[in-house]
Amino acid sequence: MKDICVFCSSSEDLSEDYYILAKELGVLLGKNKMNLIHGAGTIGLMGAVMKSAAAAGCFVTGVVPERLNRKNIVSDKLQKLVITTDMKDRKEYMRSNSDAFIALPGGFGTLEEVLETITLKQLKYHRKPIVILNYKGFYDKLLDQLEVFYKEDFANPSYRELYFVAKTSSEAIEYIKNYIPKNIYDKYLGA
């Protein structure tokens, strides 16, 4: 696994420990000779992971839609910048050019990106590893909701295999390094 897509927040208003988490992930990507693909932001967790990854020797690719390509949000100094027409094209570029995905804590955009990536894996558009980094229980309520899906038969319990929940950056990286795709049965699509 070489090119790792990280979904995360662009907020500048978070507790410092979230930025420390993002920086730690960036350093680990570099130590493991992995590259970073992310949403191109130089602010928030996006900026923290980008700067630390670049400093750790990662090749960084930032992918931004034209509408968000603003000087106070995006810079091409530490990253190869890919500008797409819109968010749909941005997500498609990120998915197509990544070998694995990690969701750090984030807001609406992060949630939408990771859930769409899980859905596309369920529908067999890809077989890449997906990690939800559940730092300090950030995603506990989401994971509880997914359990409701399984309990109430809105989703097959085997779909838990579509993603991995990590508590630390190092656990996320180790999962990706040792990932072996599984055939997850789908009653409509088969194995």
CATH, domain range 3-177: 3.40.50.450
Segment 153-175 shows an average pLDDT of 96
Structure pTM?
0.95
Give the start-to-end residue ranges of the domains of the chain.
3-177
Confidence of residue 191 (pLDDT cuts 50, 70, 90): low
Model confidence pLDDT, tens digit, residues 64-122: 999 988 887 888 888 999 999 999 999 999 999 999 999 999 999 999 999 999 999 99
- Measured in degrees and rounded to the nearest 5, phi and psi for residue 108 equal -55, -45
Show the DSSP H helices in 12-135 as ranges: 16-31, 44-55, 87-96, 108-122
Residue predicted with more confidence, 183 or 188:
183
Percentages helix, strand, coil for the chain (3-state, rounded to 5) are: 45, 20, 35
The confidence score (pLDDT) of residue 81 equals: 94
| Structure token digits, residue 124 | 């067999």
pLDDT digits (tens, 9 = 90+) for 2-51: 999 999 999 999 999 999 999 999 999 999 999 999 999 999 999 999 99
Q: Is 170 exposed, middle or buried (0-12, 13-18, 19+ CB in 10 A)?
A: middle
Q: Give the contacts of 34 (CB within 8 A, at least 6 positions apart).
A: 1, 2, 3, 4, 58, 173, 176
pLDDT digits (tens, 9 = 90+) for 165-183: 999 999 999 999 999 998 8
Give the gyration radius of the chain's Cα atoms.
16
The DSSP H or E segment spanning 63 is strand 60-65
